[in-house]
Structure 1
Amino acid sequence: MLKLLPNFLTLFRIFMIPALVIVYLIPGPLGHWLAVLIFYLAAITDYLDGWLARKLEATSEFGRMLDPIADKLMVVAVIIILIEFRDINGIHTLAAGLIILREILISWFREYLTDRGVTLAVSHIAKFKTTIQMIALGILLLGEAGEMISPFIQEIGLVLFWTATLFTLWTAIDYLSEGMRLLKEKNS
């Protein structure tokens, strides 16, 4: 039963997306704070599911496929919410688009490689990118409620969002070049 826990956490993360959207719609600061709480809880389950899968020796094909999908769904859903409610607007939508494009491209590329017997490990820089991205998105989810923390919280969130975008581009190039190298090496 314990070996199912990592996959349960991944599914839980997916089911948290509609909850995040619903609480974000609650007027006033409460909705924003609840959305941030749900978002960071989801981010923690992202770390825990992989750690538990390794610790319990409970890795599975289902988990390998579903975990990145859950991650991408959460990130894309939050970005869409932030664009819809104008917390991300103007030039910042370019960063949002680049992040979404990278997530789709690299997810496809990893599956493409897997189908050809090539495994592309998650890089340390990609883990760092994800951490910055999660912090930035959480801050941006605060919206006006974040002004309780600092009058500059939105600006801090946007700087971190652009920082995550730069790391997003870096990791995309890194994954594409490493994946092509591994594919070429396997085919030679």
Structure 2
Amino acid sequence: MNMTLPNILTVLRLLAAPALALMFLYFSRPAADWFALILFVMAAVTDWFDGYLARAWKQESKLGAMLDPIADKAMVVIALMVIVGYSSMSPWLVLPATFILFREVFVSGLREFLGDTAGTLKVTKLAKWKTTLQMIAIAVLFAQGVFEHYLGMAVLDMGPETFARVMEGQTQDVYGIWWKNAGMVWAGNLGLVLLWIAALLTLVTGWDYFRKALPFLRD
């Protein structure tokens, strides 16, 4: 195995995927949300960086080509599992997550079945945009969790009437409740919109891969 710097970054990104879930097992929230957000963003940055370095330094390898999509899928699947698991199980979140997970399993199964002919399912530009949108959406949803828990800590001993007065500007906002609530709402809505767009791209690219594989599936 050729352990160049791009390959090392890819391996680290692969190891970071299960570490996302471990953050929520060994740390309390919102610290776990912060650690998961930072870890996910760093891993997403290396996703672009390792590919760029491999091309710039002419260090592209079979190991990197094999591990790179696995690391991407592991990061997305585990991150979505964590976000859905700690959410209110809203169908607006569960549905796009389901579409994304189904597509990843389906395409992986297609590639495994095709074996040597799996080269027909090369990653397209649209698929790369899909992955980028997924990464951004998940990062924003992790940020939403950070806002949500800081808001929860700020209003822990506050009644609904006091909260309403603060939001209406009738009571001084000592704990920054307004901006924490605004951050939670905006991050949650933006994350869901981006996740739905990514899910639609996921279905489109999944259908494209299935169409390309059809000639090899006919007896």
TM-score class, shorter: 0.7 to 0.9
How is 1:161-180 mapped onto 2 (pairs within 5 angstroms)?
Answer: 161-180=195-214
Classify 1:167/1:117 alpha carbon distance in 2 versus 1 (closer, same or farther; 3 Å): closer
Bigger Cα Rg: 2
Deviations 1:102-141 (A, max 9, x none): 1122223234445127343321111111111111111111
Partner of 1:36: 37
SS in 1 for 2:91: coil
Give the C-alpha shift of residue 143 in structure 1: 3.5
Q: Is the 8 A contact 2:84 2:93 kept in 1?
A: no
Taking every aligned residue pair, what percent have the same amino acid on both sides? Answer: 40
Give the C-alpha shift of residue 37 in structure 1: 1.1
Q: Is the 8 A contact 2:21 2:82 kept in 1?
A: yes
- TM-score, normalised by the number of residues in structure 2: 0.73
Deviations 1:125-176 (A, max 9, x none): 1111111111111111124323536232112211111111011101111222
Q: Tell me which amino acid in the other structure corresponds to 2:13.
A: R
Classify 1:174/1:60 alpha carbon distance in 2 versus 1 (closer, same or farther; 3 Å): same
- TM-score, normalised by the number of residues in structure 1: 0.83
Give the C-alpha shift of residue 39 in structure 1: 0.3
| Distance in 2 between residues matched to 1:53 and 1:139, nearest whole Å | 28
2:146 aligned with 1:145, yes or no? yes
Instruction: Kindly tell me the number of residue pairs found equivalent between the two proteins.
Output: 183
| Distance in 1 between residues matched to 2:104 and 2:86, nearest whole Å | 22
2:21 aligned with 1:21, yes or no? yes
Q: Is the 8 A contact 1:146 1:154 kept in 2?
A: no
Classify 1:135/1:62 alpha carbon distance in 2 versus 1 (closer, same or farther; 3 Å): same
Q: Tell me which amino acid in the other structure corresponds to 1:61.
A: K
How is 1:1-188 mapped onto 2 (pairs within 5 angstroms)?
Answer: 4-25=4-25, 26-86=27-87, 89-113=90-114, 115-116=116-117, 118-146=119-147, 148=180, 150=183, 151-180=185-214
Q: Tell me which amino acid in the other structure corresponds to 1:177.
A: R
RMSD between aligned alpha carbons?
Answer: 2.6
Question: What residue ranges of structure 2 are gaps of 5+ in the alignment?
Answer: 149-179
Q: Is the 8 A contact 2:120 2:212 kept in 1?
A: no
Once structures 1 and 2 are overlaid, which stretch shifts more, 124-133 or 107-116? 107-116
| Distance in 2 between residues matched to 1:102 and 1:168, nearest whole Å | 7
